Chains A and B, each alone.
Chain A
Amino acid sequence: MSPLLPDGVRRLFRLSLRRPDLIHEAIDEELRFHIEERVAQLMARGMSADAARIEAIRRLGPSLPEVTQRLHHSAERKERSLAMHERFEEFRSDCRYALRGLARRPGFTAIAVLTLAVGIGANTAIFSAVNALLLRQLPFRAPNELMSIVLVAPATKESAPSDNPWSWPKFNFYRSVQRSHSDLALYANGNFIIGATESERVTGEWISDRYLGTLGIVPALGRDLPANLDAGPGAAPLALISDALWQRRFNADPATIGKTVSIDGRPFMVQGVLPAGFRGVTGRADVLVPITTRDAEDLTQSWSLEFSMIGRLKPGVSATSAESEAALLGTRIYDASPMKESTVGPDAKGGWSAAAHPLDALRVSPSVRRALLVLFGAVSFVLLIACVNLANLLLGRAAARRREIGIRLAVGAGRARLVRLLLAESLMLALLGGAASLLVAWLGTRLLQAANPMEALQAQGLAGLGVVGFANVSLDGAAMCFTIGVTLLVGIVFGLVPALHATRTQLTEALKEGTAATPVRGFHPGISRSMLVVVEVALAVVLLVGSGLMLRSLGNLLSINPGFDAEHVLTMRLGMIPGRIPRDSMPGFYNQLIERLRAIPGVEHAGLADCPPLNGGCNGTIITFPDRPEVKGAQAPGIGVHVVTSGWFGAMRVPLVRGRLFAESDRIGTEKVILISESAARKHWPGQDPIGKRAAIYQGGFHDGATVIGVVGEVRFGTIDSLPAPEVYMPYTQAPRPSLMIFVRGKGDAASLAPSVRQVIAELAVGYPIYDLQPMTERLITASAQSRFLASLLALFAVMALSLAVMGIYGVMAFGVQQRTREIGIRMALGAEPGSVLRLVIGEGAFLAGVGALIGVGAALLLTRVMRSLLFDVAPSDPTTYLVIVALLGAAALFASWIPARRASRVDPVEALRLG
């Protein structure tokens, strides 16, 4: 190719201006010309030709080759930069053109932007939750070095091996023999009463001295606990407080450090203030108190398995080797600190072990993880449908612009150039939608924070580490990157397809007069658009089925009889300040409290229990029978243990099935008595009357045996969806506990009892904080929080999906009718009835919806299997759900095609033919 063509000509014929060899040739020519001119000039001044040539080259600079090379280089750079600039300018003008085009069609633009805003925004919101709960690093130093080490109890006849926390002696043993960790620490949830006056109850953690060190946290103010606190019981009463508590209770006074504050009635010195935002591994601690300040008894009992262990790996030690070490050392733990026989039953020594896991693996419970992933899947389906709709709209637009595109192609615009032009439009739409989506995402994250289904799970101890939660859901940098990424992807991918499609147009065909000249075969509004509708319907069906299943599951959960009557019951806890009431006076105190509560007008029953129903599990032990052959310890059956007063059964309306409830005569010194649940009766005395039978319960001093005096109804103490387990109830008077929960049944609204109940308690227990006060109905609602959360979000997404799908069907059918006005006119002129036209259009819509529904049902059968563990009492293939969903979708599809169909049946043949 000759370099002699002018640049303008090259541009005109789209010849490359920027091939390096052409650039070089141009430079060489310019230089040649320059040298010739210079030589001519010098010769005119009297130089010889040779001398002039030498001088001309000298004046160029260093040497001819070097100057040439430099100029080649600078010219290439210039051309590259100009080319980039040109591209950019072109892109800018494309965008301006696209924006002008969008502004001219505000209806189309508004629908597209709104669709995308909702689709992308919902995705960003859910992504924020996924990021906060599943992805973001734990807020500790080098969190991947942190391990959780658990004690593994042997399998029993009824249960698989279970993970357990540690007792102090077992922890000490493990710490002394392990080699994998540079630091080990214990922590356990605790409730503390802070302040001698204006006492308040706060959540906190019992910790060992290297807790902060292990996590890599340094107090923001003051110091960490000294390293010698773990030496044994009777440690110096030092405490660390959270930044929040410091602000709230101590007015952020730096002099708080070194001050003495009453914790559970004992003076503690504030040693340090934790960094803002750090609330312990449990995520809720306001105060950290050394375990070694507890009673010596708590620290010597090897069976009080209460503390969770964390460890930081030594540099260079892998998690895997720490895991194998735990498995290896685990078998030695039992012998090093044997359990008391009465707690594990006879011969239960064997089989105990230990296991280590990366701490991160415990961040959320598997069900929360699964629920989030299901939501993420669902919301991405919504976006996919939104995108399909967008592609559909763009295809429609492109079809309407066939002539324009045809003309542009005819006058020589390259296809790539046109695709870029059309792509600019979808990109602009996506960017507008993406920007608007931030508002939706912000609202979404606020809603997620407020809904916080984890709170309920945390209260039940089912949520994982606690430090990971919905409170941390926020629109952070990651969320922004996600939004931008999704926006660009949407703009490019779902704009590219229609753009490529539109520019494939046959020139001659597009240029033929009018749109009506497009070939009409059957009633297909363009095969691509029909396919998009099918895809859309299929996606919507999957979402609808998912949410339908979840709603059915929620319905099943809500119809469960939990075994008690939650209406009119008010529940609360009383913060008992240790040592304020002597142990021996506790029963007297509670008796008095119950009597005064019962005396409140409108109160029917008042009772106490150590653990409320739907608590995610209460304490339990094993049961043996003195009159039967001895069973091996680990093989002995387990049973849930509850300490209650008689009034509790009345307050909760738990029915007495046989025998009698506890009486005043059942107290310390008299024969020990127990009540059992129906399932315990069925299991342990099948076909017999259990009344009067003896059983040994390895807790609360009942391991010598007690007499069954009655059978009561089943109560769900675990989760709402777990079957009632065998339970045994001990009378409070024979098994006193310091901390009990109060249950009061009134005649009217439970919450309205609160003021008088508070007053009675305040009179009897001056300064004792009341906390966790809520109607029992609230606890019942909380118990299904996760299902509610999942079901309501899935339902929301399904509604969005359905609306989008309806919009999609409507759009395609309306477009088809509009394109075929002429054809319909001819049909009607030839005698077609309006009814047959109506049927034709509706039939087409129903066909597309039917194909989509068929594919969707297949996909749903496959995909909803991942929800199996989240569903209660519904199979993922539940036929009812599928039938309802398909019917719902069919109705929606008919509705969506009925409007365009009616319009088609009203076409005036004369008008249609004239306009054509």
Chain B
Amino acid sequence: MTAPLSLIKGTLDTLVLKSLSWGPRHGFEVTSWLEERSTGHLAIDDGALYQALHRMEERELIRAEWGVTSNNRRARYYSMTPAGRAHLRAESSALVRYAETVVSILSARTA
């Protein structure tokens, strides 16, 4: 197994927003979703994730509210604000363009 990839700065916010685009989630749900989708290839400390959540709440990209889980536990649920949705749109297309460019350069076969 290759070593987990560390994230490019700012990418984590976009990924978190993506995970919230299907509706409110608590922190653990966000982490597990990211692990699942990345099949464990991304190295994200759980602590760093919560810090990112605070940062995004401060920038009003997301909102937090206490809620109750399916097995009746109190948990802090995060949901995307309209500003967050706009941010996600802009950032994900930029990231995709970036990745495609990098890939096309690196896969070049002629000089």
Residues of A within 8 A of B (CB): 4, 6-7, 26, 29-31, 33-34, 37-38, 41, 59-62, 67, 70-71, 74-75, 77-78, 81-82, 85
What chain B residues lie within 8 Å of A41 (beta carbons)?
32
Nearest chain-A residue to B45 (Cβ)?
A: A61
What chain B residues lie within 8 Å of A59 (beta carbons)?
45-46
CB distance from B26 to the nearest CB of A (A): 7
Q: Which of A4, A7, A29, A71 contacts B51 (CB 8 A)?
A: A71
CB distance from A903 to the nearest CB of B (A): 55
Query: What CA separation (Å) do A60 and B51 show in the bound complex?
Result: 11
Q: What are 21 A-B pairs with beta-carbon distances under 8 A?
A: A6-B66, A7-B66, A26-B76, A29-B74, A30-B27, A30-B76, A31-B50, A33-B26, A34-B27, A38-B28, A60-B45, A60-B46, A67-B45, A70-B47, A71-B54, A74-B55, A77-B58, A78-B54, A81-B58, A82-B58, A85-B60
Nearest chain-B residue to A80 (Cβ)?
A: B58
Query: What CA separation (Å) do A6 and B60 show in the bound complex?
Result: 19
Report yes or no: A61 in contact with B58, Cβ–Cβ below 8 A.
no
Within 8 A of A (CB), among B34-79: 45-48, 50-51, 54-55, 57-58, 60, 65-66, 73-76
CB distance from B19 to the nearest CB of A (A): 15
Query: What CA separation (Å) do A872 and B65 show in the bound complex?
Result: 78
Query: What CA separation (Å) do A41 and B33 show in the bound complex?
Result: 13
What chain A residues lie within 8 Å of B55 (beta carbons)?
74, 78
Known A4-B74, A33-B26, A82-B58: A67·B65 in contact at CB below 8 Å: no
What chain A residues lie within 8 Å of B74 (beta carbons)?
4, 29, 33
Report yes or no: B58 in contact with A78, Cβ–Cβ below 8 A.
yes
Q: Pick from A34, A70, A81 the residue with the most CB of B within 10 Å.
A: A34
CB distance from A39 to the nearest CB of B (A): 11
Nearest chain-B residue to A6 (Cβ)?
A: B66
Query: What CA separation (Å) do A734 and B71 show in the bound complex?
Result: 123
Report yes or no: B47 in contact with A62, Cβ–Cβ below 8 A.
yes
Q: Pick from B48, B54, B55 the residue with the most CB of A within 10 Å.
A: B54
Query: What CA separation (Å) do A67 and B47 show in the bound complex?
Result: 6
Residues of B within 8 A of A (CB): 26-28, 31-32, 45-48, 50-51, 54-55, 57-58, 60, 65-66, 73-76
Q: Which of A26, A61, A75, A82 contacts B47 (CB 8 A)?
A: A61
What chain B residues lie within 8 Å of A70 (beta carbons)?
47, 51
What chain B residues lie within 8 Å of A30 (beta carbons)?
27, 50, 75-76
CB distance from B105 to the nearest CB of A (A): 34
What chain B residues lie within 8 Å of A4 (beta carbons)?
74
User: Which secondary structure characterizes the binding site on chain A?
Assistant: helix
Known contacts A33-B74, A78-B57; can you find 14 more A-B pairs with CB under 8 A? A4-B74, A6-B65, A30-B76, A31-B50, A33-B28, A33-B75, A34-B46, A41-B32, A59-B45, A61-B46, A71-B47, A74-B50, A74-B51, A77-B54
What chain A residues lie within 8 Å of B60 (beta carbons)?
82, 85
Known A33-B73, A78-B55: A38·B50 in contact at CB below 8 Å: no
Report yes or no: B48 in contact with A61, Cβ–Cβ below 8 A.
yes
Nearest chain-A residue to B65 (Cβ)?
A: A7
Known A6-B65, A59-B45: A71·B50 in contact at CB below 8 Å: yes
CB distance from B67 to the nearest CB of A (A): 9
What chain B residues lie within 8 Å of A67 (beta carbons)?
45-47, 50
Q: Pick from A29, A61, A70, A82 the residue with the most CB of B within 10 Å.
A: A61
CB distance from A19 to the nearest CB of B (A): 16
Report yes or no: B54 in contact with A74, Cβ–Cβ below 8 A.
yes
Q: Pick from A26, A33, A77, A81 the residue with the most CB of B within 10 Å.
A: A33
What chain B residues lie within 8 Å of A75 (beta carbons)?
54
CB distance from B34 to the nearest CB of A (A): 12
What chain A residues lie within 8 Å of B28 (beta carbons)?
33-34, 37-38
CB distance from A419 to the nearest CB of B (A): 28
Query: What CA separation (Å) do A77 and B59 show in the bound complex?
Result: 11
Query: What CA separation (Å) do A37 and B73 show in the bound complex?
Result: 10
Q: Pick from B47, B48, B55, B74 the residue with the most CB of A within 10 Å.
A: B47
Query: What CA separation (Å) do A34 and B77 show in the bound complex?
Result: 12
Nearest chain-A residue to B66 (Cβ)?
A: A6
Nearest chain-B residue to A37 (Cβ)?
A: B28
What chain A residues lie within 8 Å of B73 (beta carbons)?
33
Query: What CA separation (Å) do A61 and B74 show in the bound complex?
Result: 24
Q: Pick from A6, A7, A30, A85 the residue with the most CB of B within 10 Å.
A: A30
Query: What CA separation (Å) do A61 and B51 show in the bound complex?
Result: 11
What chain B residues lie within 8 Å of A37 (beta carbons)?
28
Nearest chain-B residue to A77 (Cβ)?
A: B58
Query: What CA separation (Å) do A6 and B75 show in the bound complex?
Result: 11
Query: What CA separation (Å) do A33 and B27 show in the bound complex?
Result: 9
Query: What CA separation (Å) do A889 and B47 show in the bound complex?
Result: 76
What chain A residues lie within 8 Å of B65 (beta carbons)?
6-7
Nearest chain-B residue to A29 (Cβ)?
A: B74
Q: Pick from B27, B46, B55, B73 the residue with the most CB of A within 10 Å.
A: B46
Query: What CA separation (Å) do A31 and B27 show in the bound complex?
Result: 9
CB distance from B23 to the nearest CB of A (A): 18
What chain B residues lie within 8 Å of A60 (beta carbons)?
45-47
CB distance from B95 to the nearest CB of A (A): 24
What chain B residues lie within 8 Å of A62 (beta carbons)?
47
Query: What CA separation (Å) do A34 and B30 show in the bound complex?
Result: 11
What chain A residues lie within 8 Å of B45 (beta carbons)?
59-61, 67
Query: What CA separation (Å) do A70 and B55 show in the bound complex?
Result: 12
Query: What CA separation (Å) do A354 and B55 show in the bound complex?
Result: 72
Query: What CA separation (Å) do A38 and B27 show in the bound complex?
Result: 11
Query: What CA separation (Å) do A67 and B27 show in the bound complex?
Result: 15
Q: Pick from B45, B58, B74, B75 the residue with the most CB of A within 10 Å.
A: B58
Nearest chain-A residue to B44 (Cβ)?
A: A59
CB distance from A58 to the nearest CB of B (A): 9
CB distance from B29 to the nearest CB of A (A): 8
CB distance from B69 to the nearest CB of A (A): 9
CB distance from A219 to the nearest CB of B (A): 56
Query: What CA separation (Å) do A62 and B50 show in the bound complex?
Result: 14
Nearest chain-A residue to B26 (Cβ)?
A: A33
Q: Pick from A29, A74, A81 the residue with the most CB of B within 10 Å.
A: A74
What chain B residues lie within 8 Å of A31 (beta carbons)?
50
Query: What CA separation (Å) do A78 and B76 show in the bound complex?
Result: 15
What chain A residues lie within 8 Å of B48 (beta carbons)?
61
CB distance from B24 to the nearest CB of A (A): 14
What chain A residues lie within 8 Å of B54 (beta carbons)?
71, 74-75, 77-78
Query: What CA separation (Å) do A26 and B64 show in the bound complex?
Result: 12
Q: Pick from A7, A37, A81 the residue with the most CB of B within 10 Å.
A: A37
Query: What CA separation (Å) do A77 and B76 show in the bound complex?
Result: 18
CB distance from A455 to the nearest CB of B (A): 61
Nearest chain-A residue to B55 (Cβ)?
A: A74
Nearest chain-B residue to A63 (Cβ)?
A: B47
Query: What CA separation (Å) do A82 and B73 show in the bound complex?
Result: 27
CB distance from B38 to the nearest CB of A (A): 14
CB distance from A532 to the nearest CB of B (A): 45
Nearest chain-A residue to B29 (Cβ)?
A: A37
Nearest chain-B residue to A78 (Cβ)?
A: B58
In the complex, the 8 A-B pairs of residues with the closest C-beta atoms, listed nearest first: A61-B47, A67-B47, A61-B45, A78-B58, A37-B28, A74-B54, A60-B46, A60-B47
Nearest chain-B residue to A5 (Cβ)?
A: B66
What chain B residues lie within 8 Å of A29 (beta carbons)?
74, 76
What chain A residues lie within 8 Å of B46 (beta carbons)?
34, 38, 59-61, 67
CB distance from B74 to the nearest CB of A (A): 7
Query: What CA separation (Å) do A357 and B58 show in the bound complex?
Result: 60
Query: What CA separation (Å) do A61 and B31 show in the bound complex?
Result: 13
What chain A residues lie within 8 Å of B58 (beta carbons)?
77-78, 81-82
Nearest chain-A residue to B67 (Cβ)?
A: A6
What chain A residues lie within 8 Å of B27 (beta carbons)?
30, 34
What chain A residues lie within 8 Å of B50 (beta carbons)?
30-31, 34, 67, 71, 74
Query: What CA separation (Å) do A799 and B45 show in the bound complex?
Result: 75
Nearest chain-A residue to B76 (Cβ)?
A: A30
Query: What CA separation (Å) do A34 and B50 show in the bound complex?
Result: 10
CB distance from B45 to the nearest CB of A (A): 4
